[in-house]
Amino acid sequence: MQVILIQDVNNLGGVNELVTVKPGYGRNYLIPNKFAVEANPSNLKMMEEKKKQFEKKEAKLLAEINNVIATLKDGMIKVGAKTGTSGKIFGSVTSVQIARAIRDQKGYEIDRRRITILDDVKELGTFKASIDFGNGNTTEIDFEVVGD
């Protein structure tokens, strides 16, 4: 029996995937629990349409991500920090401070958990951070730590 999965099912497949299962498993478990629908011609057409819509949405999201990456690489992001007389900062710069600086200077709200600082930032200067947008889309940005 062939079914189209509506939800991800462990050890079977993902959403909108056409799988072959034993008839009893499909009729008695997958279909009644709304994990799958029977693979008839109308449901197959709906699955194809959903895939097309998903691909369009994915392409639009990728274009938006590339736009954000271009804006972030456009200029240096400045992060303020309190410093002592020797140029060392009190504490260190965190991803929260970088996310706030991106929001204030570039206008994009980026979750702090997506930002990874590549070096220990304990003094003034220029450093690198990596931002993960998901689906394998990452970029490295430069930021400058300046004294307040």
Q: DSSP labels for 9-43?
A: BTTTB-TT-EEE--HHHIIIIITTTTSEEE--HHH
Residues 41, 148: Cα–Cα separation, whole Å: 66
- The topology (CATH level 3) of 2-55 is Ribosomal Protein L9; domain 1 (3.40.5)
Q: Domain-by-domain residue ranges, the chain?
A: 2-55, 65-147
Residue 87 has pLDDT above 80, yes or no: no
CB distance 76 to 126 below 8 Å:
yes
Average pLDDT of span 119-133: 88
Give the homologous superfamily in CATH for domain 65-147: Ribosomal protein L9, C-terminal domain (3.10.430.100)
Record the pTM: 0.67
| DSSP states along 76-116 | PEEEEE-B-TTSBBSS---HHHHHHHHHHHH-----GGGEE
**Do residues 102 and 110 lie in contact, with contact meaning Cβ atoms separated by under 8 Å?**
yes
**Is residue 86 pLDDT above 90, yes or no?**
no
- How much is the mean pLDDT over the chain? 90
